[in-house]
Structure 1
Amino acid sequence: MSRTPPGPKGQPVFGSSRQYARDPFRFVTHLEEAYSGVCQFDMGPLETYMVTDPAEIERILVADADRFGKPDFQDDALGSLLGEGLLLSEGETWRQQRRLAQPAFDMSRLSGMADRIVDHTESRLADWGDGGQFDVEQEMTTVTIDVILDLMMGVELPRHRLEHVREQLEPLGMRFEPDPVRFALPEWVPMPGDAEFDAAVTELEAVIDDIVAQRRDDIGDADDPDAPMDFLSILLRAREAGEQTDRQLRDEMMTMLLAGHDTTALTLTYTWFLLSEHPEVERRLHEEIDAVVGDGRPTAEELRELEYTEWVIKEAMRLYPPVYTIFRQPREPVDVGGYTIPPEASIMLPSGRSTAPTSTGRTRRRSIPSAGAPNGRGSAPGSRTSPSAAGRVTVSANISPCSKPGPSSRRRPVSTGSPTRASVRSNCCRR
């Protein structure tokens, strides 16, 4: 059995990390086109294997998941930031936290959640003036944070504090983006952005402390049927029962704020961008919303009827995956695609279809194909379905569809304006 698969040689010290950091979508797409199944390259000193064979991806994430763990290559700052929250925890710790969190995302809460999401969306849209210019990503980020604070933590912040939270989350999110220098240097070497990162963590921990103090006396009893069922209330009741530590509660709140808002905000941002480039798709989207919702407010019951809207969002996620790669690390030497991968190596698994538009706009798959659109549901032809849940169903799966575009956004010129600047940003994930 061959020990080393083919792959790019890269540069001394940095390996291929510079090319990867410059444009992750293009880099991953190039490797998929140049190599079949498995390829190998270096991320700084880290030996990395990219696996694109769907059968092998499923084996790594699902069938043989116990043989692979989350990687330890990402810097300690992320581990200390998110700790044992749902995103980074594993094994029995993750299962316990997942069971504890699930009631906050129950289908019985869906109708009320949908109403609140519409409220927050309409409130934000009321601030947009006709003919004005704004940063779509910032707007989607702010409204998503607003929704998370309300639905998951039971609080509403005034506008200036909401903007402050968004500003503090920015340097935290930047740490998730690939940096060739961080790949190459030890963790203890000071880096630009470290001070901003530490200051943002301190600020957000203070916000979390304020929210916890505000809610601590308003959580009810565990056996009270009328007790609040938001995520924070559930965790606070578990803390009182000795089932959670203060650190676990803090980790879950930080995870919810950072990881909870980013993927939704990015998906919405890319959806608006793609709609602005594809007026026929936008027209069909509006027609479906007019037919299903009319001039009223969208409801949870109407979501399942918005089949074309759902397809548009899924197609945007396929073209611009908000989480473009998942990483794993073998617990022991493993054979993948005819090659032996050592336990000190990292395995990169592209999510969705990686032949996506790049920051330069030069790719084969810029357009949204219409062949895969409803009547029936599903991805466009040629898309690869990978088990991106990694054996773990997303805790918010029931409420994620509530973030679909609705009539409120349709009435504004957000999706018909021409973007003055578009860049691709996305995340990698250890989930």
Structure 2
Amino acid sequence: MTITQEPRQIRDRMSAGDLAGLAQTLKDLPPVEIVDLLEDLPPREAAVAFRVLPKQTAVATFDQLRTTTQADLVAELGHGHVADIFAELDPDDQVGLLDELPARVAKELLRSLHGEDLQAAMVVLGYPQGSVGRRMSPEYVHARPAETAATVITRATDLASVSETIYTIPVISRDRDLLGVVSLRELLAAEGDREVAELMTPAVGARATEDVEEVARRCLDHGILAMPITDDENRLVGLLTIDDAARISQAAAVEDQARAGASEPLRRPYLLTSVRSITRSRIVWLLVLAVSATLTVNVLEMFEATLEQRVALALFIPLLTGIGGNTGSQAATTVTRALAMGDIRVRDVVRVASKEARAGLLLGGHLGLLGLLAASPFYGMQLGAVIAVTLLTVCPLAATVGGVMPLVAKACRVDPAVFSTPFISTFCDATGLLVYFTVATLVLGL
């Protein structure tokens, strides 16, 4: 089979009952290609294909699958069939799968672990969801300052099969206090009798209770192959590898993008997601937005008499609400991104508000002048002035609110993406109309 083999051809073999041929075909593929095939197949067909894989290939493939696909395989095959494969996973991957499974199935799989495997999994399970402790690997190779390079290399060789990474080795004291890190490359390049204390460098680490997305971003920003994770007393408890950090960051980006568009992220590939699941991911947000949109209706109702006196005012409602909503959304998106990148903190709220207010004022000035020039020849200077003043007021207001709300959300421990496009657009629509009709009433004497 070539790298371009389609899942449909796999299905054809299944339909023909040619499981021996299917097994031979899959046997010749590397795990990364099998992963792509399994994630493009419906759960039942993916389970059939997975079942014919050789043991070692199955372990390597299962480890690279999304946790949702892993959960589907467990549901189709039963926990008994994957118990041995589950035991081969790293503790953080085991916990990730357990979080996806129903409680009863998760307990059965957990019971299949024994000894050190169970102890390692329980260490990770002991940290709250959303913390980096929940995603770290508690299995690592360590070094001590007084040890020689040859001693640590021998230990890394012995533990390579059970440790998630050996490329970055934390240096710890007798009490497990983190002192620094040393790379395997440095050890291999050094004389065998050189002490680790001469080779180690300061460690860039994180506390196990810190937010997993922030730590993952820090790990990627610094290009750290494995970031040491410590408890509150600076004792080493695990490592976060760069590949896990990349997966965490990617999942966070997908989630933020979905929520910014008033939806929840899909847990499975789009074509394998049921219509009911897609509907469920969107309906709650639409209902919330429908309720919040009543603010706009109430404002229009308040100024119904004003509209009757000057019908031309209605022509510019879409323009003004659109500009206000988009200005707020632009500010929210920019600030949410800056938060995600660590460029700003919640304590910067005043500076952010000031910057966005000035940017909004500048935008409003340009757009207001354009509105004045465009509307005055057709609807009179007074209406043109109403539009100009409204834009000059709405843009800084929308930009300030849009910039501040993600910071407020962060302070309240709510995902900032939730407060981006959907809610801010609705808020700006209502306040924009309120400003518009208030200005019209004052300028036009209605």
TM-score class, shorter-chain normalisation, is: under 0.3
- TM-score of the superposed pair, with normalisation by structure 1: 0.23
Q: Which has the higher contact order (CA 8 A, sep 6+)?
A: 1
Q: TM-score, normalised by structure 2?
A: 0.22
Structure with the higher helix share, 1 or 2: 2
